[in-house]
């Protein structure tokens, strides 16, 4: 059901479906590799909130089965670059597997992540990717993942296998989108009217937390996964 690209068709099909490890309504497995990882800016602003209210759950560290070219551009307002990583849907010789984290999320949390990544505007597109889980017994799982269409210009930039704390410290996020936050909190049983949602949002965005949501303080340091 996801967007198609001109990447290798053998990218998917080996991992077992997320439904085999679903946890109640948390039926979507998502592979995050940048600002949505634990400790980074958009985890604290969005995905972490969903996890706090039970709409998302960290599952495991992981890495892509296949190599991809991931770039991290220097923040530049004139070029509309924020310092967020871009995972290209192609790999170059010498590229490595990309390290990240696997979360289980429910329907509304997945919609929230789609908004964070600009799916509706075409900024990113999503497709399934096979991810090797780092567990006592490693396995493959088919995860939703967010990609940028590769171009010769983007492929010419240096590639990284992990988005690091140093990258995160340079990231310049957009203002917090309360509509996305509402999706991270809302449930199908509870109406998402402003009277219901505003107290919940206010509890997450106290003045003491505001700065922490704008810029990362610290994060688990990404590391190479061993098999």
* pLDDT tens, position by position, 7-24: 333 334 456 666 667 778
Q: How far apart are CA 5 and CA 117, in angstroms?
A: 17
Residue 80 pLDDT: 65
pTM attached to this predicted model:
0.77
Residue 106 pLDDT: 95
Q: How far apart are CA 52 and CA 103, in angstroms?
A: 13
Q: Which two tokens stand for residue 136?
A: 């006592």
Q: How far apart are CA 64 and CA 33, in angstroms?
A: 10
Report CA-CA distances (Å) from 106 to 55, 96, 110, 187: 6, 30, 6, 9
Question: Is there a contact between 189 and 55 (Cβ–Cβ < 8 Å)?
Answer: no
Q: Which two tokens stand for residue 73?
A: 């551009």
Summarize pLDDT for 184-195 with one digit per residue, the tens. Answer: 998 644 433 333
Q: How far apart are CA 179 and CA 46, in angstroms?
A: 10
Q: Which two tokens stand for residue 15?
A: 């991992």
């Amino acid at each position: 059901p996801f967007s198609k690209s001109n990447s290798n068709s053998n990218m998917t099909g080996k991992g077992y479906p997320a439904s085999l490890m679903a946890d109640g309504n948390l039926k979507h497995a998502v592979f995050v590799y940048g600002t949505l990882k634990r400790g980074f800016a958009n985890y604290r602003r969005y995905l972490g909130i969903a996890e706090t209210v039970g709409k998302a759950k960290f599952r495991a560290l992981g890495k892509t089965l296949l190599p991809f070219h991931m770039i991290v551009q220097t923040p530049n307002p004139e070029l509309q670059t924020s310092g967020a990583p871009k995972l290209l849907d192609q790999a170059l010789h010498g590229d490595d597997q990309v390290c990240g984290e696997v979360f289980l999320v429910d329907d509304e949390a997945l919609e929230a992540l789609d908004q964070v990544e600009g799916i509706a505007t075409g900024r990113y597109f999503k497709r399934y990717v096979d991810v090797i889980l780092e567990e006592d017994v490693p396995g493959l799982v088919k995860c939703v993942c967010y990609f940028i269409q590769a171009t010769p210009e983007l492929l010419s930039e240096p590639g990284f296998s992990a988005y690091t704390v140093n990258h995160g410290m340079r990231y310049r996020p957009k203002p917090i989108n309360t509509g996305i936050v509402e999706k991270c909190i809302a449930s199908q049983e509870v109406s998402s009217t402003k009277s219901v949602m505003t107290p919940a949002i206010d509890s997450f965005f106290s003045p003491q937390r505001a700065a922490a949501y704008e810029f990362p303080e610290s994060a688990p340091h990404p590391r190479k996964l061993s098999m």
